[in-house]
Structure 1
Amino acid sequence: MATTILATPATAEETYDLGTLVISGGLTPVEAREYGRAATVLTEEEIEESGEQYVADVLRSLPGVAVSRTGGFGGRTQVRLRGHESNHTLVLIDGVEVAAPDQGEYDFAGLLTADIARIEIIRGPQSALYGSNAIGGVISITTKRPTEPGISGEVGFEVGSDGTYEGRIAVRQQSVRGQLSFSAARRETDGFDISGTPGGEDDGDLNRTYNLTGRFFVSDALTVGGSLRHVDRVSDTDGFVFGAPTRAGLVVDDASNIEMQETFGSVYAELGMLDGRLQNRVDLSFANIDQQGRGGTGLRNQDNTATRAKASYRGTVALDSDSVDTADHTLTFAAEWEYLTYKGNQAFFGPGELIKRTREQSALVIEYQGSFGNGFDLQGSVRHDFNDKFEDFTTYAVGASYTLPNQMTRVHASYGTGVQNPTLIEQFGFFANFAGNPNLQPEQSEGWDIGIEQQFLGGRGLVDVTYFDDELTNEITSVFNPATGISTPVNQPGKSDRRGVEVSADVAVTDRFDVGLSYTWLDATNPNGSVEVRRPEHEALLQLGYLMANDRTRFNLDVRHVSGNYDTDFTAASMGASVVRLSDYTLVNLGMSHDVTDSVRLSAGIHNLTDERYEELDGYATQGRTVFFGVTSTY
């Protein structure tokens, strides 16, 4: 676990690395010790030590993050930041936006950890930099790159409970002229019955992921590069019965499944001018997401395609230096254009599905970053969005950081506004029991936070405590009409409040024993005062790590407690009008790794050690105790 500026756990003889860059914290990277917004950086080592196979399960360990999955692996997986909706979280993979254009959110169900090198989480309104879909924050993910000259790579294999196995391979090459990386992973599991029906059929998942990245140094001033990512998966699901007589009957065992093909790509060029005082970058990216679904009888009931095309320019100028890399004060100008489409490929519910729906938007952005040399640092940004379907909108944000003269205490604070355009699904519908609303207005947010970061034990420990307060207006929700059986999205009048406290701490107790803590208290309510669902009031994680005397074997113990989680009551007595509180639960995971040689690592673990029975969503069963064993060889 990493706090705001922590890159890796420190030993008793080390101090914390305060040189960590928050790459996605601005239009240009920001030193973490100078960054005013609340952020977390997870390194490759920390991701591997977690023992998790899906990025969503790594994110559960972080403050301000709530994750919900519809049953087993491959089921729709939503990530919420600071009590906001999942489509308020902007997700980038190698700089490419990956949210589905139709629903405005990224389904984390297919994102494996196999080739992930770094995860950054920026919490709070980020629309002043990233536009719509960033009210709650940003999650930026970077895949692995070569770290040494020549050809390198890795081969890995893992087996586990529920008929689970994974194979992965990566090949990387680095020279003085550039880098190239390719990876492939296949993960398959028989799963378990997510309906919880005695004797029910297991719901499995097949995931095939391919990733290609590269860059080429054309000259000292010009670099070109790009990325290409493809995920092909098939996930079994079970039917959901809206208006079931009891909670036990909400999810029924059947032959439903989802097939998804996601392809993302980009090309870019970076050009330094004026001897490095001006840095320019042009990006072109795309996303193509195809989805097919089958109902309980096995007959196809959905087939649709969503696309995104995006172009952007960014120019950064050094204000007080001959080079952007050495400047304490920079100014960045950016321009962006985006085009979204969505259509059904078959008319399952009516001819309207076959109409291609489109949306076009563009934006201008300016950002200032300044370091004043006395411990005080400042970041500010303004963005104006031009929308073809909605009114144009201007958002702004400011962040400040101050390190006290003792160099052990840092105060950070930020304020920002945000905007979230209605999704294409909310605007146009597309489904028989869901009617679009073309009169929807964009959601708007205003939020601030303040935190104190304190080193202790001579630099072997670090704790960060942050308080945040957000207000959301025009929140979109769905209203069910029992007479027609149709739900319609509407803007709620009034303000939705989200406030809470985020705590993270890491301490190297000895040179072999380290402790991590993450805690979130969240109070998220609708305008009428009712609780927001699927975002727990309390989440706490205790992590213990121990490196044995051989310096090759490490044990990790995680204990996570969740309480105060609610879901919508979809039984006949409520029909979605009320909520139900889910049971509190505590999960224990145990993991270990052993380096047989410098290039061969064995890993093993037990998830849900106590075989806890719990729910993340009402009606969906969750996985019991599982074990896994893996081996990875690098070359």
Structure 2
Amino acid sequence: MSNLSFRSQGACARLAASAAISACLISNALAQTEPADDDTELDPISVLGNRVEGPSAAIGSAVSSISGEELEQRQIRVVSDVLRELPGVAVNRTGPVGALTQLRIRGSEGNQTLVIVDGIRMNDPGTSAEFDFANLLNLEVERVDVLRGPQSALYGSDAIGGVINIVTRKGEPGPTRFRATLEGGSFGAATGTASVSGGTEAFDVLVAGQAFRISGVSTAKRFALAPTSSLDRDGYTSGTGLAKVSVRPTENLEFTGVARYAEFDADRDGFGAASDGYPFAASIDSRDTERGKQFFGRAQVKATLLDGAWDHVVGMSYTNQDRRSFDGTDLKTYASLGEMTRFDYQTNFRFQTEGLVPASHVLTFGADHTRDAVKSFTASPFPADAPNPLRKHIDNAGLVGQYQIGVFETLFVTASVRQDFNDRFDEATTYRLASAYTFDRTKTKIRTSWGTGVKNPTTFELFGFSGNFIPNGDLKPERGDGWDVGFDQPFWNGRILLDATYFQQRVRDLISSETVADPADPTGFVNRPINLAGTSKIQGVELGLTVKPIDGLTLRGAYTFTDGEDATGATLVRRPRHIASFNANYAFLEGRANVNLGIVRNGRQRDFAYDAATYARTSVPLKAYTLVNLAASYKIHPNAEVYGRVENLFDKKYEEVLTYNTPGRAAYGGLKVSF
């Protein structure tokens, strides 16, 4: 246990504290007799923080962002790799590239984080209702934002830990532009991308595609008990297509459409009693495979009235995620199809008030309806009355209201409320209060937020069967609340930016699992989900630092301390107490050359070990590790660039998930052209 206290203050106390800080900031703003100078206004950021466009000064929650240019400087190919460098984020991958990749924000579960790409909710209702980052490669990504803390008042279920918003590039006015890359390297890796984009004031369009393959390494780890055991490589191939189009028949009306399609074929290793005498169930070398097809689409129309003061957005999203598992004889052992259909509407009305206290106001109202549907099949021998294939769906409707006030362009207070109506669970009301104040002289921004969250059990947890898993139809929604307080401080005319945040989060009725007798085989054991009675507690500190000492050189560092335990007092697994990162990027020779050094430190953490006979689980430690990556590029022509990188420079051996292997040192190189 850390020196930080876990003494609960209660939701009312946390709300009161947040409101008190907001009141204090209001008094400071009222004491200011002159509005801020025009040059103090900060650039607008994405709509993620408050679901409405506005200056960064209006965001009271903790948000971290990274641009597409920075992804290219790091030569990021799997988007989850860059998320490791952001405060509050922990990433775990069950093996090499293409394996299940989970992401946790502030110690929350993977399915308590909502992932949005181009306005589409990506979480898969067919499995655990989380998004598997394994198949999201860096195809035309323009920006990645991470919003930390409970956000269900804005985004509904799945947002207890936070929200990740990813935006891809769109066509720009001007001549048609073509871009392509070709790359190869270690483990038989080869990838190619191509895109065509363009537009005018009346429309823009982008079409892009990517193909990727790698022979990889074995998912199963070679244990010390059997150092000469033979392990085969587990390869991975994928293909992704992306299309985006916007049409603006008038200056007040815009129609937008986006579609993403992906296919993948991945070699898998099994999980069970290790033949080499390992004391726990482990990843076992096998010829299993998994194949999948994914479609994500959205269409929306935006109308802007009253000279931009009043806007309306109506949208429809549809996702289809199809996964199928096969054994070494190509016999289908499991299949899941998750579909999400969503209709949403949002309107924002902006107005100003003058007088003694000039203020800006934004009123927001939203409504949405979502249907999550699942169809699954398993070859496992479960009770005769178990539905196989399983077909289920859950409907949820939500209403959102939000009010934001800005005083003197330095103080912003935002209050949000959401009401959810679910056809299976009780109605849920969630809240959020956030405030931010920027001091005019020092540009110090103080921010604080408090919010509540809800996470409904998934259709799979309620009804699904798979492997050694059976469902529990009596599960209740997980409910959480959390608060944070922090500051952002620029120095040296903006060349240095320091941010720090302290946070606490609580989750009640956390869904865990218990080992019970197998209903199909009384001599065997299976796991089923249960709600843990009591409250799981998480707290920590997030630090970020960006320094630009000279032109062309950017130094970026982050550190997160997380202390989390479940309702029984056990340390939460796969949440390192300490995570740190450092990145140095230097562009020189008038921008033609670039060198990037990245370091990620993942501290000691715990993971579950399952008894090979009963599958009863215990918690065991995983060692800390440090990864170093080096990348460089050089423009040999204004339209051509050569590049190369080395990942895991010092060939570190490490585990992100118990008994699952990870790649060693690897080198890659390629060519990028554009015209």
Secondary structure of 2:153's aligned partner: helix
Cα 1:338–1:249 change in 2 (3 A) is closer
Alignment-mate amino acid for residue 308 of structure 1: M
- C-alpha spacing 1:558/1:528, structure 2 compared with 1 (3 Å): same
Q: Residues 378, 267 of structure 1: CA spacing in aligned structure 2 closer, same or farther, 3 A cutoff? A: same
Q: Distance in 1 between matches of 2:586 and 2:466?
A: 52
1:526 is aligned to 2:566: yes
Aligned residues: 618
2:66 maps to 1:42: yes
- Partner residue, 2:351: 319
**1:422 paired to 2:462:** no
Relative to structure 1, is the Cα distance of residues 253 and 573 closer, same or farther in structure 2, using a 3 angstrom cutoff?
closer
Offset of 1:216 from its aligned partner?
Answer: 0.3
- Residue number among 229, 233, 239 corresponding to 2:264 in the alignment: 233
Match of 1:382 in 2: 417
Q: Note if 1:252 corresponds to 2:284.
A: yes
Whether 1:264 and 2:329 are equivalent positions in the alignment is no
Q: 1:261 to 1:507 in 2, by over 3 A?
A: same
Query: Can you list the C-alpha shifts for 1:197-242, whole angstroms capped at 9, x where unaligned?
Result: 4431100100100011111002222111111110100111101115
Decide which of 311, 331, 336 is 2:368's aligned counterpart. 336
The one-character-per-residue Cα deviations of 1:42-93 (angstroms, maximum 9, x if unpaired) are: 1111111122200010111111001111101110011110000000010111
Structure-1 separation of matches of 2:359 and 2:266: 50
Match of 2:18 in 1: none
Instruction: Kindly indicate whether the alpha-carbon contact (under 8 Å) linking 2:360 and 2:407 is maintained by their aligned counterparts in 1.
Output: yes
Secondary structure of the corresponding residue to residue 425 of structure 1: helix
**Aligned counterpart, 2:110:** 86
User: CA, structure 1 residues 633+321, in 2 after alignment: closer, same or farther (shift >3 Å)?
Assistant: farther
Comparing 571-580 with 602-611, which one deviates more in the overlay? Answer: 571-580
Q: Is the 8 A contact 1:239 1:296 kept in 2?
A: no
C-alpha change, 1:349 and 1:367, in structure 2 (3 Å) is: farther
Residue matched to 1:27: 51
Q: Mapping of 1:599-610 within 5 angstroms? A: 599-610=639-650
**Which of 163, 181, 194 is the equivalent residue of 1:169?**
194
Q: 1:75 is matched with which residue: 78, 83, 99?
A: 99
Contact 1:349-1:432 at 8 Å conserved across structures: no
Aligned with 1:568 (options 597, 608, 615): 608
2:239 is the counterpart of 1:215: no
The one-character-per-residue Cα deviations of 1:336-392 (angstroms, maximum 9, x if unpaired) are 001111112576555513231010010100112222115111122100000000000
**Contact map agreement 2:50 2:59 (CA 8 A) in 1:** no
**CA distance in 2: counterparts of 1:601 and 1:339, whole angstroms:** 46
Match of 2:596 among 539, 551, 556: 556
Contact 1:243–1:570 under 8 Å retained in 2: no
Match of 2:321 in 1: 289
Taking the aligned partners of 1:417 and 1:203, their CA distance within structure 2 comes to 42
Give 1:217's aligned amino acid. Answer: R
611-620 vs 512-521, greater mean Cα deviation: 512-521
Show the counterpart of 2:155.
Answer: 130
* Helix, strand or coil at the partner of 2:134: helix
Secondary structure of the residue that 1:218 maps to in structure 2?
strand
Contact 1:277-1:321 at 8 Å conserved across structures? no
| Equivalent position of 1:628 in the other structure | 668
**Residue type of the alignment partner of 1:588:** V
Classify the secondary structure of the residue corresponding to 1:74. coil
Alignment-derived partner of residue 3 in structure 1: none
What does the per-residue CA deviation read over 1:300-358, in whole Å, with 9 as the maximum and x for residues that have no partner? Answer: 10122111110011111123289xxx993110111100111111257655551323101
What is the rounded CA distance, in whole Å, between the counterparts of 1:18 and 1:151 in structure 2?
32
| Match in the other structure for 1:517 | 557
Q: CA–CA distance in 1 between the matches of 2:241 and 2:380?
A: 31
Question: Equivalent residue for 1:5?
Answer: none
| Counterpart secondary structure, 2:70 | helix
Structure 1 counterpart of 2:504: 469
Q: Which amino acid aligns with 1:406?
A: R
Identical positions, percent = 32
Q: Determine the C-alpha separation between the residues in 2 that align with 1:165 and 1:231.
A: 17
Q: Deviations over 1:95-152 (max 9, x none)?
A: 0011111321011000001221111110000100100000000001111112341311
Classify 1:594/1:148 alpha carbon distance in 2 versus 1 (closer, same or farther; 3 Å): farther
For residue 231 of structure 2, what is the aligned residue in structure 1? 200
**CA offset digits 1:551-580 (Å, max 9, x no partner):** 311111112111121110124498443211
> Hey, what does 1:4 align to over in structure 2?
none
User: Using the alignment, how far apart are the partners of 1:114 and 1:199 within structure 2?
Assistant: 36
2:408 to 373, 394, 401: 373
Separation in 1 of the partners of 2:102 and 2:485? 27
Q: Secondary structure at the match of 1:596?
A: strand
CA distance in 1, matches of 2:138, 2:409: 40
Partner SS for 2:80: helix
Structure possessing the higher radius of gyration over alpha carbons: 2
CA contact (8 A) 2:377 2:390 kept: no
Alignment map for 1:51-130 (pairs within 5 Å)? 51-102=75-126, 103-130=128-155
Separation (CA, whole Å) in 2 of partners of 1:432 and 1:191:
25
Matching residue of 1:451: 486
Q: 1:17 to 1:220 in 2, by over 3 A?
A: closer
Moved more, 271-280 or 493-502: 271-280
Q: What is the distance in 2 between the residues matched to 1:458 and 1:24?
A: 27
How far apart are the structure 2 equivalents of 1:475 and 1:124? Answer: 16
- When the two chains are superposed, the root-mean-square deviation of aligned CA atoms in Å is 2.1
Name structure 2 gaps, 5 residues minimum: 1-38, 223-228, 518-522
User: Structure 2: how far apart are the matches of 1:133 and 1:284?
Assistant: 19
- The answer to whether the 8 A contact 2:273-2:613 is kept is no
TM-score normalized by the length of structure 1 = 0.94
Which range is displaced more, 596-605 or 15-24? 15-24
Residue in structure 2 matched with residue 7 of structure 1 by the alignment: none
TM-score with structure 2 length normalisation? 0.88
Are the aligned partners of 1:189 and 1:205 in contact in 2 as well (CA < 8 Å)?
Answer: yes
Structure 1: 5+ residue stretches without partners: 1-14
Match of 1:277 in 2: 309
Secondary structure at the counterpart of residue 71 of structure 2: helix
Match for 1:65: what amino acid? V
